Amino acid sequence: MPREIALGDALVPGLLLVFIGSMLLLWGLDWLAGRYGLYRYVWHPSLVRIAAFICVFGSLGLLLF
């Protein structure tokens, strides 16, 4: 994964794309969790959501760079 990507002549850090990707991924996870009521099994849903996002983003970032 290149650390810097040219999108239409604008330099974009690769991590930004990972960030957007993780957002999309999390959105999917969030939809699943909402659909099947998984947030009932946690104490603070939004905290868990943020934490899950950091996990996804962090792992992807560490894996790809």
- Judged by the rule CB under 8 A, the positions of this chain that interact with another protein are 2-4, 6, 10-11, 13, 15, 30-31, 33-37, 39, 41-55, 57-59, 61-62, 65
Distance from C-alpha of 7 to C-alpha of 13, rounded to nearest angstrom: 10
Helix (H/G/I), strand (E/B), else coil: 6: strand
> By C-beta, is 24 or 37 nearer to another protein?
37
The helix, strand and coil proportions of the chain, stated in percent and rounded to the nearest 5, come to 70, 10, 15
Beta bridge partners, 10, equal 7
> By C-beta, is 10 or 24 nearer to another protein?
10
Nearest-approach distance from CB 35 to another protein, in angstroms: 5
Nearest-approach distance from CB 21 to another protein, in angstroms: 14
